[in-house]
Chain A
Amino acid sequence: MRFRSFSLRCLVVLAATFAVVAVDAQPLIGIGERDPLESSRWRDMQRQFFRDAQVVFDPRVRVSAPAVAEDPLAVPVAVDASALPEVEEILVFADFNPILKVLSFHPGAARPNLGFRIKLQQSSPVRAAARTRDGVWRVGGTWVNTTGGGCTLPSTGSGSPEWQERLNEVSGRIWPRVDGGERVRLMVIHPMDTGLAPGIPAFYIEDLVLADGAGNELARVESFEPVSENPVFTFDLPPGAGSADALRVGGRDNNGNPIDGRVTR
């Protein structure tokens, strides 16, 4: 039985390979560089996010996410562009989400890698585009398959008065890393409503800043509706980036509610 089942899978994979070859035989018009994820939306993404800027696919921009999402409301994603020099911004988007843009990360003094969770409405490539100092966008990504529906469901928090009392509450912790740097993980209580659930307007954190104890900005995340409810972010700081005593977390949501917390060591 087990052998048969295995052979079945092999045959399906074989069949899928045939089909891919057949599809690939078509000319792909007007794409300078072929999308490694073969998404029919790539040209639209290129037009929308990069316009005349130079864009290349670059395996050094690594996006880790499960091939199959167990929960379309919280798909774990890690972006790592630390193999690139001088990364100024990392843009994250999902080709087939009703709201494409997930977040824009300005690593500043932090390493150019970030962990977070997103909502997916349907199976989609999840991509990260890292802009290096030369102005070139370098794009990596991965397909995530999901049952979907993550963007049109009401958040748990939208229906709970308790959530409103805890709105923008920050929890977080700092871990020393073997390289002498630090890892910072933060959670902010927020419904992150997409505006796509009937009767519930978009309500989400727009801006999250990690700063040192003196208030100097270390890294910044501009987030959008597809970031999961009660967002959790993972930052990595190189040795000496933070100040000795504490880190500050600031920001606001799109209704102007401030975020203000201190994470001590």
Chain B
Amino acid sequence: MICRAPTCDEAQGATHAGTNGRANVWRRSTPGRATHAGTNGHLSGFRRLPRPSPHRHAAALLLAVLIVACTLLGRPVHASQFDYGLEPRRIAEGVYVLIGATEDFSFANGGDIVNTGFIVGATGVIVIDTGPSRRYGEQMLAAIARVTEQPVVLTLNTHHHPDHFLGNQAFPPETLAALPGTIRGIETEGEAFSANMYRLNGDWMRGTEVFVPRQRVEPGRRTIAGRDIELLALGGHTDADLVVIDHATGTVFASDLLFHGRAPTTPHADIPRWLDSLDRLESLKNVQRWVPGHGELTEDTAPIAQTRAWLEWLTATIRDGAEAGLDMPELLATPIPERFFELELAESEFRRSVVHLFPAAEQAALAAGGVRSR
């Protein structure tokens, strides 16, 4: 029925269905949703013009051909075969990552906008996030099998956003594990996320269903599959964000607490808590490399500084705007400071974040006004 313009992105489903618990509105069974995913929202303008004519059919055909052509030209993967082209990159002994695009969800990228990873131990493989779809999960599992013959013994979802758990289906169910808050989030909002992902990514999602992890992970340091692993239960990006540290190599999988070269998303954010989590990450000793949830990995703490700078600017801009009596459309017109130009999707994430965060700031500002009711 509706095509959203191509500024959809990470955890986009979170916003509509998630924050207010209105879970079952954008079900994938709704006719036409998935088919229109990935096309431009402005098309809805013509769709409603009266009486289709040969002109319109020709235009639609031309458009379809061009979109398909652009899709094939624009990506190294072949959408027609639904192949994500996953090539695990070895970043340390036994540690591999799959770096996604710093883009929005779209049919062109099939939802591969997220970083996943795995750690190969002496007796098994630890998987960190399963990607945006069943196909991704299956292709990730196949990619792991090209690297090692060890079985997957633990499959972690770092948090409950759809690009981090919708590949769960491909992995042995008994290995699926997450923090209790993440399990709760997937249970309550998973279906709505899934429906939205069908809409955004189209047929890449085929066959994807929500698989809720049954195993609750506890934070702490222990040996898993022969690796010295530490799990940190943090939060702020969502209610529960799991950080995975491989001590032997000093690798930190920081989940979506870190964004690098891409503006952070905030549909479930608690920003003061998020900033505390960044402090905690920065205090970690002997870190050799950081794997952010989105964006390129680094050996320095640049993603921490970048994520913190963005969140602090965002909070201050929204709070100051509310305190100055601005309304949302005025705040939305705020220019992005030049220092954030290096971040992909800064404009669109700022606009989304204003919608997520302004109402609370506004209520605080209005409560400070002199009012007597009744």
Contact = CB atoms under 8 A, between A and B. Distances in A.
Interface of A: 1, 4-5, 7-9, 11-12, 14-16, 18-20, 22-23, 25-26, 37-41, 64-68, 70-74, 76-78, 96, 115, 117, 122-123, 143, 145-149, 152-153, 156, 168-175, 183, 185-187, 232, 234, 246, 260-265
B219 interface: no
B15 interface: yes
B145 interface: no
Nearest to B47: A40
B63 A19 contact: yes
Contacts of B284: none
Contacts of A262: 371-372
Interface string B39-82: 01111111011100101101110110011011101110000000
Give the interface SS of chain A, mostly helix, strand, loop or mixed: mixed
Contacts of A260: 373-374
Contacts of A149: 16, 22, 25-26
A70 B66 CA distance: 28
Nearest to A13: B40
A260 B67 CA distance: 55
Contacts of A147: 2, 4, 16, 26, 196, 199
B220 interface: no
B149 to A, nearest CB: 32
B367 interface: yes
Given A4-B73, A172-B366, A70 B352 contact: yes
Contact of B49 (A23, A187, A263): A23
Contacts of B150: none
A263 B59 CA distance: 56
A41 B46 CA distance: 11
B64 to A, nearest CB: 9
Contact of B2 (A8, A143, A146, A187): A146
A68 B67 contact: no
Given A7-B74, A234-B327, A264-B371, A96 B58 contact: no
Contacts of A172: 366, 369, 371
A25 B59 CA distance: 11
B66 A14 contact: yes
A18 B63 contact: yes
Contacts of A26: 49, 53, 55-56
Nearest to A38: B45
B16 A68 contact: no
- Count class of interface residues, chain B: 35 or more
Nearest to B351: A66
A214 to B, nearest CB: 16
B40 A16 contact: yes
Contacts of B7: 68
B30 to A, nearest CB: 10
Contacts of A148: 1-2
B6 interface: yes
Contacts of B50: 40
Nearest to B344: A2
B70 A19 contact: no
Q: Which of A14, A145, A146, A232 has the most CB of B within 10 A?
A: A145
13 contacts: A4-B74, A19-B60, A23-B59, A66-B332, A70-B355, A123-B2, A123-B3, A147-B26, A147-B196, A170-B371, A170-B373, A172-B371, A174-B369
B329 A76 contact: yes
Contact of A175 (B53, B325, B359): B325
B46 to A, nearest CB: 5
B335 interface: no
Contacts of B352: 70
B197 to A, nearest CB: 12
A170 B53 CA distance: 53
Contact of B55 (A8, A25, A40, A170): A25
A96 B48 CA distance: 10
Interface in B322-374: 324-325, 327-330, 332-333, 348, 351-352, 355-356, 359, 362-363, 365-374
A70 to B, nearest CB: 4
Q: Which of A1, A149, A173 has the most CB of B within 10 A?
A: A173
A18 B62 contact: yes
Nearest to B33: A147
Contacts of B43: 16
B182 to A, nearest CB: 23
Contacts of B199: 147
Instruction: List the 9 shortest-distance A-B pairs measured between CB atoms, nearest first.
Output: A173-B369, A145-B41, A76-B328, A8-B74, A264-B370, A115-B327, A22-B59, A175-B325, A15-B66
Contact of B73 (A8, A19, A22, A173): A8
Interface string B193-211: 0001001000000000000
